[in-house]
Amino acid sequence: MRVTLIRYHDLGNINTRLPASLNKRQGALPPLGLAYVAAALREAGHEVAMIDAIAENVTREEVKRRILDFKTDLVGVTAMTPTFRGAQEAARIGKECGCQTVIGGVHMALFARETLSYDYIDFGVIGEGEEPIVALCKALESGESYEGLPGLAYKTKDGEVVVGPSVLVQDLDTLPFPAFDLLPMDRYSSIIGLNPVTTMMGSRGCPYLCGFCYKTPSDRKYRRRSAKNIVDEIVHVKENYGVREVMFYDDLMPPNYIEELCNEILSRGVKIAWEVPQRVNLVNPELLALMRKAGCRMLRYGVEQGDEDMMQIVEKRISKDQVKKVFKWTHDAGIHTFAYFIVGYVGETPATMRATIDLAKELDPRYVMFTKATPLPDTPLFEDAVKAGLIERDYWRKFVLGQRSEPIKPCVDNAKEWVERAYREFYFRPWRMVKQVFYIRSWADFKKSFDAFLGLLFFKMSDDEILQKISTSVDEKEKKAESVAAWENQADGEGPVELAPLVEETHTEHPVGADIEEPDWVT
């Protein structure tokens, strides 16, 4: 079967990750989920093409031409709810070309029936897509029935929508590496990375249940690849695409996972820069030193709030003292930091938003992202916003059905002004601007810094430029602490994870501009 997989433009996206002046400068990264699906289809014997309309900046007409030229049988599209308009358009193009269409992504776990109400969308994938789409293609190609396939949403002859149970890949090592050879790898870059750069996932799932995040309930099951399998892929992308840095997109990395990965990188002598997301309660000075030795260049921490009470409201299960210690440890280890903050959460006041800005400046990460709180469907934040009368319970359903298009009302009226203020106060401090100069060590660094400067200089949030941050699922609050505590002691299902205590340590401070020395093979 001939399958074309598409990442389409974010048409009518009511929740962009960054304001337009910054968003267009941050670069594009490979669509990792689609690349995994492409690899699984190809391994099963199907012919696959991929179109990344964002990275290639192709028109509707060009997308249509490429679908037809490939003689496509099935068009697959990835979607998240706030970007559903773009996925709709891609499916519509596919149907105009006479193809059957399927949509996947976290969106389908929430709104499968609404999505399949459109006559140009034939199927939906629920959960992880590799196994369901391979099974669907096998059924379509052979003429067998696809009814009852796990992970598949479909329409019966009577027009009823049937939604199958979601599917999880239990052994991630069995998956083929993402089909990056089908993507325009020379088009991908990151304003914060060492280009050429690519993305990678060493694990799937996250047991933490932060109040602003959503994933399907099954995504709370944490699974990870072996360190050998991950490093095999690192070697593959380094040798075949000249990749200098890997940006891990795991939800988090428990200590035993990181230790095994670092030791595998070091024992094999692989020279690669890498960066990861992490929680502050899952690192210690010894682990950070090992990570730096193995090439870790940056850690991306979700701090989210600067007010202690608000930290508990967003259910991060961390404290300001933990955050301050870990940022100091990370800087002392010679690793850059990236801090994420949410502004304008339900219940926030000017004092709590001021506390967030002040904490960001005190931590002084290399990069920071301030985003306006968005009540995504099926999250505690959404429930709080509904109770506060800030959003209708059926807002997202109506949005998917095309009955609503206006931006969500912010949880705090002046949240966007606070976001603008936060960016300017953080990046335009005189000492910070001097420090930024010391970070420039190449022409590429200069260009990235200048682009970011222009984006910040002309930074202005419009009402429809709101953060989408989707990371975990929702459960009763009484079960959260118990389930997370159990996971912290049994992270990979194989044995206890030893979490080093967050104890006071004394380290030598590094002078500004010399605090992060890159190895020779990174510069």
pLDDT in tens, 22-44: 555 567 899 999 999 999 999 99
* 372, 401 contact by CB (below 8 A): no
pLDDT class of 439 with cuts at 50, 70, 90:
low
Q: Which residue range(s) make up the domain with 218?
A: 189-488
Q: Is residue 496 part of a domain?
A: no
What is the pLDDT at residue 509? 32
Q: What is the pLDDT of residues 308-356, one digit of tens each?
A: 999 999 988 899 999 999 999 999 999 999 999 999 999 999 999 999 9
pLDDT class of 83 with cuts at 50, 70, 90:
confident
What is the pLDDT at residue 207? 86
pLDDT class of 500 with cuts at 50, 70, 90:
very low
pLDDT class of 193 with cuts at 50, 70, 90:
confident
3-class DSSP state of 492: coil
Q: Is residue 181 part of a domain?
A: no
Query: What percentage of the chain carries pLDDT values higher than 70?
Result: 79
Are 386 and 457 in the same domain? yes
Distance between CA 502 and CA 512 in Å, rounded? 26
Q: Is residue 514 part of a domain?
A: no
What is the pLDDT at residue 441? 60
Q: Is residue 518 part of a domain?
A: no
Which of 50, 41, 69 has its CA nearest to residue 141?
41
Q: What is the pLDDT of residues 142-185, one digit of tens each?
A: 999 999 999 999 999 998 999 999 989 999 999 999 999 999 99
Checking if the pLDDT of 457 tops 80, the result is no
Are 282 and 343 in the same domain? yes
* Domains contained in the chain, number: 2
Average the pLDDT over 357-364 and give the result.
97
pLDDT class of 395 with cuts at 50, 70, 90:
very high
State the SS3 of 255-291. HHHHHHHHHHHHHCCCCCEEEEEECHHHCCHHHHHHH
Both tokens of 207, joined, read: 């047991």
pLDDT class of 413 with cuts at 50, 70, 90:
confident
Average the pLDDT over 508-521 and give the result.
33
Checking if the pLDDT of 483 tops 60, the result is no
Q: Is residue 175 part of a domain?
A: no
Checking if the pLDDT of 490 tops 80, the result is no
What are the φ/ψ torsions at residue 464 (nearest 5 degrees)? -100, 15
Distance between CA 206 and CA 215 in Å, rounded? 9
State the pTM of this model: 0.84
Are 214 and 341 in the same domain? yes
Q: Is residue 82 part of a domain?
A: yes
Are 255 and 129 in the same domain? no
Distance between CA 83 and CA 203 in Å, rounded? 25
Q: Is residue 171 part of a domain?
A: no
Residue predicted with more confidence, 122 or 482? 122
Q: Tell which phi-psi region holds residue 87, choosing left (phi > 0), alpha (psi between -120 and 50) or beta.
A: alpha
What are the φ/ψ torsions at residue 255 (nearest 5 degrees)? -55, -40
pLDDT class of 214 with cuts at 50, 70, 90:
confident
Mean pLDDT for the chain?
84
What is the pLDDT at residue 409? 82
Are 123 and 217 in the same domain? no
What is the pLDDT at residue 18? 52
What is the pLDDT at residue 97? 98
Checking if the pLDDT of 20 tops 70, the result is no
Are 379 and 465 in the same domain? yes
Are 83 and 18 in the same domain? yes
Are 364 and 280 in the same domain? yes
**Pairing state of beta strands 152-155 and 123-125?**
antiparallel
Average the pLDDT over 427-435 and give the result.
81
Q: Is residue 519 part of a domain?
A: no
Q: Which helix (H) or strand (E) holds 153?
A: strand 152-155
Are 18 and 149 in the same domain? yes
pLDDT class of 520 with cuts at 50, 70, 90:
very low
Among 121-135, 245-259, 434-448, which stretch is predicted with the lowest mean pLDDT? 434-448
Both tokens of 260, joined, read: 């095994």
**Pairing state of beta strands 223-224 and 161-163?**
unpaired
The domain that holds 274 is classified in CATH as 3.80.30.20
Are 101 and 245 in the same domain? no
Which of 393, 338, 337, 395 has its CA nearest to residue 371?
338
What is the pLDDT at residue 94? 98
The domain that holds 124 is classified in CATH as 3.40.50.280
What is the pLDDT at residue 277? 94
Are 330 and 372 in the same domain? yes
Are 413 and 273 in the same domain? yes
Residue predicted with more confidence, 467 or 273? 273
